[in-house]
Structure 1
Amino acid sequence: MDAIAAYDAGATGSGITVAVIDSGIDTGSAEFSGRISAASRDMISSRNSLKDENGHGTAVSGIIGAARNDSQIMGVAFNSTLLALRTDSPGTCTPTGCSHYDSDIGAAVDVAVQNGAKVINLSLGGGAPGSVLVNAIARAADAGVIVVVAAGNGGSDNIGDANPDDFALVANMGSSKNMVIIAGSHNEAGTALSGFSNAAGSGQQHYLVALGESVRSINHEGTAVAGDGTSFATPQIAGAAALLAQAFPHLSGAQIVDILFDSAIDLGATGTDNVFGRGKLSLTKAFAPQGQTSLAASSTPVSLTDNGSLGAPMGDAGRTGAALGGAIILDGYSRAYAVNLAATLSRTPVSQSLTGRLGDVSRSFSGGSGDVMVSISFRKDASSAQPWVGLAQAGLSAEDARIARTTAGAVVSRIAPGSTVAFGFSETGLGLFDRISGRITPAFLIANDPQATPGFEHRRGDAMAFRQALGAFNVTAALERGDAITWQAKREERRPYSLASVRLDRSFGPLSLNLGLGVLDEEQTLLGASLGPVFGVSGATTRLADAAVSLDLTGKWTLSASVRQGWTDPRATGGLVTGGDIRTRGFAVDLSGYDVLAAGDSFGLRVSQPLRVEGGGLKLAVPVAYDYLTGSVSTEARQMALSSSGREIDVEASYGFSLGGGRMDANAYWRKDPGHIAGAPNDTGVALRYRLDF
């Protein structure tokens, strides 16, 4: 039955009346104290006594509603109200059972409906019901009352039949309106039908199994008993229905029946079958959300497992803290659940592994005529036999080295004195700036210049730049387009972005300075984060401020630094997010030298921080309470901080020199808190590359 989930959710059956039409009840038992309905009665007016003569009715009632009092047993719906309706014919009860007339049972069903019972338990069996009982059950169905009836125990041979008792097959009648559940019995292991239980057979669409072997209860004398039979499986299903009715008061009886069937654990042949019918009762699954889940008071869909991935600048932010805790969602039956949506956000995989940097070989060429320069690169990816062809400059900076590993190219043309234009594909605006300004940066494998990327995993697209000399100053305007790479359900997806920038640069003797402003526009992402519909973020706009300075120390050595500051505004379109202000920063400090130990060699040392959220976050309106009576939702304003737990710092050294007609390059790096995740193992690596052109 798996009832713990229901109890953890606070379900007890309180306020729900369950009618037990049987042989009476032990009215003096402490297990039922204060919870036997005043409307309980003996349907045989001449006898007028609820006293149980053989214990069957008391045992059934105990399984439904015995008190949670640290004594004996505990009923499934231990706080429910029991409406005991005695229908056994006078003088017919023996230790093995009693006889009941259809007319008395039918009258009891009407009494149950009239007195507000949500569930009627019929742990009875026999021949086909007469019209009096059939009509009474039809009236109960019209009133939305659930009827649970025993499948039967196989008759006198105690060997289960292929079909339920004819009495139980009232469930198949159209007048019952699918409001009758036939209860079969499974074994103690929950894996097989009990040998005595009638199978689903012709009643399979309405058939559910519950434990019916060695079921503990009490008899009419207060003695503990352990019984076998579908009579003892039936009250477990009735009690489960009562728990659902109390926990979710807006549900109709028909919806409760659907939930019990749809949440059943499939046994035997896949789907509904003629042995187990709809399957095995599971309160854990019945109390879990079913159907499409949505944010309370909206139609915005919510996933219970995957509501998006965070961007690289955010590290592990959003997966901790209380901002997304206790959010109210509704399932397909408008049942409210408090969930922690933070657990449904994934981190972008930590990128820039050394393997990825070394997984290809490439050759680059450049040439030109007059005022036009064209560069081209041929690449073959070592991880597949697929060759690639592209364009790239011959002297590779750290960023250009990565360009050479993808299909890339650029054309640079001087169109007038002091005016230069450049076009590229698989390029960035900064890459084109380097080409037309002549800026040279060291070749690093891992440590990025924060101005060289949008700050998240991406695939470069087209770019263009225009540079104009204005006296001692130069102004460069650039536009680039590309795709943010996001991860949904472990599948790579691409979302467009564009970045427009303008830079002003000037040299003052050995000192060079450039300042830039830019606007990064993302479609469907937020700093590389791909957030699901529940957040209601359709993209983001980031204002960027860049600064870079370079100082020529000796003619051989250069000290340089760069920094990027960003201010990001999400585009909220209806969901949890109502706005936000996110502040990001990245930096790099370089020491580079040429002809250090030998002619043509180069050395570089960089300390950098990839773009990281330094402050701010998303403003949320989180639903925190739901009123079943009115359907109203209470929301709470919260701030979802997007600063990560750690701060990634990259340190990388590179050295290259000519050797044997080729080029030997060595790189060593160390990364602290990779991915901006505190406590993440440090990432260290060394690479040796030898290139020989022939």
Structure 2
Amino acid sequence: MAPPQAFNTPEFRRSDGPGQHNAASAWDDGFTGDGVTIAVVDTGIDPDSPEFAGRISPASTDIYGSRGIEGPDDHGTLVSLVAAAARNGTGVVGMAFDSTILAIRADEPGSCGGDNPEDPSTECGFLDSAIADSIDHAVANDAKVINISLGGPGGITQALRSAVTNAVNAGVLVVVAAGNDGRGELTTFAEMLGDAGNGGVIIVGSVDEDYTISDFSNRAGANPQYFLAARGDRICCVYEDGEIFVDEEGFVFLYSGTSFAAPQVAGAAALLAQAFPHLTGNQIAEILLETAFDAGAAGDDSVYGRGILNVARAFQPVGTTQIAGETTALALADSTAVASPAMGDAFSAASIQTLVTDRYQRAFSTDLAGTLRGADIPERLHGAVGQGACHISGGSSRASVAFSIDASGRQPPRAEILLLQSEDADRARVLAARVALRLSPNTQLGFTYRQSADGLVAGMQGRDRPAFMIAASGTDDDGMLAMADSAVALRRQVGDWGLTVSAQTGSTISAAAERRAAQLRGQRVEEDLASFALSLDRQFGAFDIATSLTWTAEDSTVLGARFHEGFGLAGSDTVFIDTDLGWRFADNWRLGAAYRQGFTRLRSAPLLADGSGLSSNAWSFDLQRSGVFAANDRLALRISQPLRVASGGLDLNLPTSFSYDTLTAEYGVQRLSLSPGGREVTGELAWIGPIWGGSAAASLFLRHEPGHYADAADDVGAALRWSRRF
């Protein structure tokens, strides 16, 4: 991962660890360890080094009480450099360069053999009692992380075990070097510390610049569960008088050891502790281990344990995510919304800035716009000519029945309501429904299965409208992908007016883009809807008019758009007002116009603010000439706009900030516009008539900005269809 430009400096490139473990991504977000104390239990520190200026805790101490914090060798100083060297443009930079170092000198008096930083292990001796006292001192002085880059081949005392356990119980993370014996197993010392931590201790082995386990490093062995690897091989550089030491021949000295891999992890832990101050040491350990880069054998293994430190991944959500303050899972890899055709490209310019929390109640800023999926552009030609069904109908003056059976061979035959098109739509009149009954001269009753109530009502009203393959009437488009289950309509002629009441049940259909579970992937998601309508129609000489009021109730969707359960939406209600006009201004000529106006309101929901709603419309104009080439043929032209959201959207009450003290979110309103930038306008020239003993239809069409996508290429085409009754 390339570091942000602001951090890609010579100082950064000299530093072995931050670049290799992707720390700069956390730095770029402002997390540098500021305010976090790392306790380094070691041989002390160089208090005069400019790399720690102003950042050595006043609680730093010699655990034996009288020698001061500057030790007999550079081991403790080098460990501290890896963890926290300043970002000052010189030398190297540490993993958590703004953190505070609590230096605890714990070497046994008189035990150190000399200053030899190139030796992978310190030559000083450390008593368990001194280490235990140092841990207690670190906890008492608010250290969040304790680094122990020392050890021994033997076991540990009960006092040291208790000190580690108490530190972990106090919320502190303990980081321990794995040791430099090149063993296939941990030392007893490291293993016992890991066990004492009960999940709050990380044992750290060393890898080189190629992410290969170092020859000298002890391996995870039978304890991969708390083993993590980090750069500890050939680390730059030895310091003298606060600067990188260069010998007379111009060489610098590198140092190696798991002692220096451990502070890479301790520094990473400090970054997490600053960013997410509510985390315990156990949780930080879990995050670092779970987000490690997998190395060696897949999964946990006996060499690399849980893997290699990856700071960038540790700063990404872990486990199930949800909108902050909510409980329903919302995975950032899922689609959080699927638009309906009426919304077209509305999501292309959307922005939904909010906060999500992960398994550890860590809040992350995200723009959910990247998880919104625009509507699929409807392929109207396929629906017009690709049916492959056999249609059967029959009846008398009092009753009629029509049904279709699949003839494509792709599905088992089943009874299905016939969506009458072309000349059948005009001939059928009453027969527009699959079962139609005339109860009296002025009363009709109809039922459908798998057909909308619109076609049923149109048949009862006897509307003489031209049939087109592509361009729908303005009053026939509800702007959503939906499937009717059943419909019923009752029409009564009252004087010159026809009054029709109808009802329909069905479901909206949207792609299962929310991969909530593997078994849903690639399937369809259905949501219930129901509609109720009241219609009036009348003839005025050469004029005819039909108008209706329709209420559509959607259980979970919004004008056919499906939103992730994480938003907690409770469905919507839409009222459509329709007007359909016709004028026979001359023999064999008819001029028609249709307009639909929709108003959608969302039902109350926790994340929905007042004012959410949509306004939508559709329209069409058509001109028809009958008897063009034969007595029963027709030629018609239609210009139409499918239903389109004209204005409005969702006012979402979403988290804008998160308190780690109370683990609660504060909210602000964000507008998600559902009005597309594109506008589909369809033109179609259609002919229909008898030919070769059957019925033929031909169409030339142009769809400008199809699907209401502003950048979509025009859809231009032609279609021919021929059918015959048997």
User: Do these two structures clear the TM 0.5 threshold for a shared fold by scoring above it?
Assistant: yes
State whether structure 2 residue 204 is matched by structure 1 residue 183. Answer: yes
Q: What residue number does 1:76 align with?
A: 95
User: Counterpart of 1:423 in structure 2: which amino acid?
Assistant: F
Query: What is the CA distance between 1:285 and its match in structure 2?
Result: 2.0
After superposition, where does 1:21-40 map in structure 2 within 5 Å? Answer: 21-40=41-60
Q: Which moved more, 1:220-229 or 1:445-454?
A: 220-229
Q: Which moved more, 1:160-169 or 1:683-692?
A: 683-692
Q: What residue number does 1:310 align with?
A: 339
- In structure 2, how many angstroms separate the alpha carbons of the residues matched to 1:647 and 1:289? 39
* Contact 1:568–1:581 (Cα < 8 Å) also in 2: yes
Paired residues, number = 677
Distance 1:24 1:391, change over 3 A: closer
Q: What residue number does 1:557 align with?
A: 589
- In structure 2, how many angstroms separate the alpha carbons of the residues matched to 1:676 and 1:344? 20
Q: Which moved more, 1:391-400 or 1:674-683?
A: 391-400
State whether structure 2 residue 81 is matched by structure 1 residue 62. Answer: yes
State whether structure 2 residue 377 is matched by structure 1 residue 341. Answer: no
Q: What residue number does 2:13 align with?
A: none
User: Counterpart of 2:659 in structure 1: which amino acid?
Assistant: D
Secondary structure (helix, strand or coil) at the match of 2:261 reads helix
Distance 1:635 1:45, change over 3 A: closer
Equivalent of 1:500 in 527, 532, 539: 532
Deviations 1:439-459 (A, max 9, x none): 233332222223224321111
Q: What residue number does 1:111 align with?
A: 137
Query: What is the CA distance between 1:545 and its match in structure 2?
Result: 0.6
Query: What is the CA distance between 1:312 and its match in structure 2?
Result: 1.8
- In structure 2, how many angstroms separate the alpha carbons of the residues matched to 1:118 and 1:656? 81
Deviations 1:608-645 (A, max 9, x none): 11111111222221221112223343221333221112
After superposition, where does 1:10-49 map in structure 2 within 5 Å? Answer: 10-46=30-66, 48-49=67-68
* Contact 1:310–1:528 (Cα < 8 Å) also in 2: yes
Deviations 1:351-404 (A, max 9, x none): 23423433232343432123112223333237x365555353776469899xxx
Query: What is the CA distance between 1:262 and its match in structure 2?
Result: 2.1
Q: What residue number does 1:228 align with?
A: 256
Q: Which moved more, 1:327-336 or 1:658-667?
A: 658-667
User: Counterpart of 1:342 in structure 2: which amino acid?
Assistant: A
Q: Which moved more, 1:236-245 or 1:340-349?
A: 340-349
Q: What residue number does 1:583 align with?
A: 615
Secondary structure (helix, strand or coil) at the match of 1:202 reads coil
Q: What residue number does 1:210 align with?
A: 230
State whether structure 2 residue 712 is matched by structure 1 residue 680. Answer: yes
Deviations 1:466-496 (A, max 9, x none): 1111111111111122211112225311111
Equivalent of 2:306 in 278, 282, 291: 278
- In structure 1, how many angstroms separate the alpha carbons of the residues matched to 2:494 and 2:289? 78
- In structure 2, how many angstroms separate the alpha carbons of the residues matched to 1:688 and 1:218? 83
Secondary structure (helix, strand or coil) at the match of 2:570 reads strand
- In structure 2, how many angstroms separate the alpha carbons of the residues matched to 1:474 and 1:259? 70
Deviations 1:51-90 (A, max 9, x none): 3544322221111101112222211111000111223343
Secondary structure (helix, strand or coil) at the match of 2:268 reads helix
Query: What is the CA distance between 1:200 and its match in structure 2?
Result: 0.4
Secondary structure (helix, strand or coil) at the match of 2:161 reads helix
Query: What is the CA distance between 1:268 and its match in structure 2?
Result: 3.0
* Contact 1:52–1:220 (Cα < 8 Å) also in 2: no
Q: Over aligned residue pairs, what C-alpha RMSD do you find?
A: 2.4
- In structure 1, how many angstroms separate the alpha carbons of the residues matched to 2:568 and 2:236? 52
* Contact 1:128–1:169 (Cα < 8 Å) also in 2: no
- In structure 2, how many angstroms separate the alpha carbons of the residues matched to 1:446 and 1:59? 75
Equivalent of 1:239 in 249, 260, 267: 267
* Contact 2:44–2:104 (Cα < 8 Å) also in 1: yes
Distance 1:314 1:5, change over 3 A: same
- In structure 1, how many angstroms separate the alpha carbons of the residues matched to 2:328 and 2:657? 17
* Contact 2:686–2:700 (Cα < 8 Å) also in 1: yes
Query: What is the CA distance between 1:183 and its match in structure 2?
Result: 0.1
- In structure 1, how many angstroms separate the alpha carbons of the residues matched to 2:441 and 2:424? 30
* Contact 1:572–1:579 (Cα < 8 Å) also in 2: no
- In structure 2, how many angstroms separate the alpha carbons of the residues matched to 1:145 and 1:77? 17
- In structure 1, how many angstroms separate the alpha carbons of the residues matched to 2:468 and 2:217? 74
Query: What is the CA distance between 1:104 and its match in structure 2?
Result: 2.9
Equivalent of 1:50 in 69, 72, 84: 69
Q: What residue number does 1:122 align with?
A: 148
User: Counterpart of 2:206 in structure 1: which amino acid?
Assistant: S
Distance 1:83 1:393, change over 3 A: closer
Query: What is the CA distance between 1:520 and its match in structure 2?
Result: 0.7
State whether structure 2 residue 722 is matched by structure 1 residue 690. Answer: yes
Distance 1:578 1:399, change over 3 A: farther
Distance 1:634 1:142, change over 3 A: closer
Deviations 1:128-158 (A, max 9, x none): 244243343233233222111111122xxxx
Equivalent of 1:133 in 151, 160, 175: 160
* Contact 1:582–1:617 (Cα < 8 Å) also in 2: yes
Deviations 1:225-257 (A, max 9, x none): 433321221111101111111111111112111
Q: What residue number does 1:404 align with?
A: none
Q: As a proportion of its length, which structure holds more strand? A: 1
- In structure 2, how many angstroms separate the alpha carbons of the residues matched to 1:110 and 1:601? 97
State whether structure 2 residue 29 is matched by structure 1 residue 9. Answer: yes
Distance 1:394 1:237, change over 3 A: closer
Which consecutive unaligned segments of at least 5 residues does structure 2 have? Answer: 1-20, 245-251, 514-521
Q: What residue number does 2:114 align with?
A: 93
State whether structure 2 residue 626 is matched by structure 1 residue 601. Answer: no
Q: What residue number does 1:144 align with?
A: 171
- In structure 2, how many angstroms separate the alpha carbons of the residues matched to 1:469 and 1:139? 87
After superposition, where does 1:381-400 map in structure 2 within 5 Å? Answer: 381=408, 384=410, 387=413, 389-392=415-418, 396=422
Query: What is the CA distance between 1:299 and its match in structure 2?
Result: 2.4
Q: Which moved more, 1:684-693 or 1:308-317?
A: 684-693
* Contact 1:26–1:220 (Cα < 8 Å) also in 2: no
- In structure 1, how many angstroms separate the alpha carbons of the residues matched to 2:193 and 2:100? 25
- In structure 2, how many angstroms separate the alpha carbons of the residues matched to 1:687 and 1:7? 60
User: Counterpart of 1:141 in structure 2: which amino acid?
Assistant: V
Deviations 1:514-569 (A, max 9, x none): 11111011111110011112322121111111001011132222111111111111
After superposition, where does 1:481-492 map in structure 2 within 5 Å? Answer: 481-489=505-513, 490-492=522-524
Query: What is the CA distance between 1:105 and its match in structure 2?
Result: 2.7
* Contact 2:377–2:706 (Cα < 8 Å) also in 1: yes
* Contact 1:289–1:335 (Cα < 8 Å) also in 2: yes
State whether structure 2 residue 695 is matched by structure 1 residue 663. Answer: yes
After superposition, where does 1:369-380 map in structure 2 within 5 Å? Answer: 369-380=396-407
- In structure 2, how many angstroms separate the alpha carbons of the residues matched to 1:338 and 1:388? 51
Distance 1:494 1:321, change over 3 A: closer
Q: What residue number does 1:405 align with?
A: none
Secondary structure (helix, strand or coil) at the match of 1:360 reads coil
Query: What is the CA distance between 1:203 and its match in structure 2?
Result: 2.4
Query: What is the CA distance between 1:576 and its match in structure 2?
Result: 4.3
Secondary structure (helix, strand or coil) at the match of 2:373 reads coil
Distance 1:36 1:667, change over 3 A: same
Secondary structure (helix, strand or coil) at the match of 1:274 reads coil
Identical-residue share of aligned pairs (%): 37
* Contact 1:6–1:283 (Cα < 8 Å) also in 2: yes
Q: Which moved more, 1:276-285 or 1:684-693?
A: 684-693
Equivalent of 1:297 in 301, 325, 343: 325
Query: What is the CA distance between 1:303 and its match in structure 2?
Result: 2.6
User: Counterpart of 1:164 in structure 2: which amino acid?
Assistant: L
* Contact 1:36–1:83 (Cα < 8 Å) also in 2: yes
